[in-house]
Amino acid sequence: MEFSLLAAALLGVALALLTLRVERIRKITDRTDLIDLVLGSAVVGLVIGRVAAMVLQGTNPFTHPLDLFLVRGGVDTGFASLGALGYLSWAARKDLWQTVDLIAPAALAGLGGWHAGCLMRGTCAGVATTLPWAIHDGTVGRHPVELYAAAALLLGAITLVMVRKRLPSGVPALLALGLAGGVRLATEPLRVGFGSNPAPWYLAAVVVGVLGTMIRVKAHRSRNISGS
């Protein structure tokens, strides 16, 4: 049985929970329900992403239920993200913007941990390169593309923790969405392509994040002008 994908997922969850802990230490929030929301979103996203990957590969999850745990085929990140966002939106529907803003840095850290989990899965390498930090696959050097993505996402999470209090409502979450999509979109050309092209998913995240941020900032400025 293959458990390296599960180990990568657990690393992502651990970093997400650590980020929430840091936010509590910095007194950004004192809410205790965020951990349950993060864990629930991660589980739902992982399950939906795994089922989607099985279906897209022609495997019936009802006739091959054990393949849900034998995760050699991977997880479809697009459907996993939609599943996690859908669950979070439903679970936090009474206070959506404040909740997703608080979770945004943890989500980026969790994604960073997921990508860093390539070290356990042996899947860090991308296309060939002669750069000195290349991962060597026999005699061929390759970009450690998953580590590029992990570093960018973790840096984004740290930055968002530092500046979140100064941003209008909704902007932290939208920035996190745009950054997550942008990192994957930027690193996609360095990956060894298999199967369908996921770039449209990442481009959609960037567009929604950028346009949403512009709309929220404009609305915030309008309220300040009308209130002054």
In the chain, pLDDT over 70 holds for what percent of residues?
94
Q: CA–CA separation, 227 vs 142, rounded Å?
A: 56
Q: Count of domains in the chain? A: 1
Structure confidence by residue, pLDDT tens digits, 32-73:
788 899 889 888 988 898 888 888 888 888 888 877 766 555
Closest CA to 166 of 212, 101, 72, 97: 101
138 is in which domain, residue-wise? 4-227
Mean pLDDT for 191-217 is: 88
Q: CA–CA separation, 134 vs 94, rounded Å?
A: 47
Structure confidence by residue, pLDDT tens digits, 42-53:
889 888 988 888
pTM: 0.85
Our separate counts of H helices and E strands in the chain read 8, 2
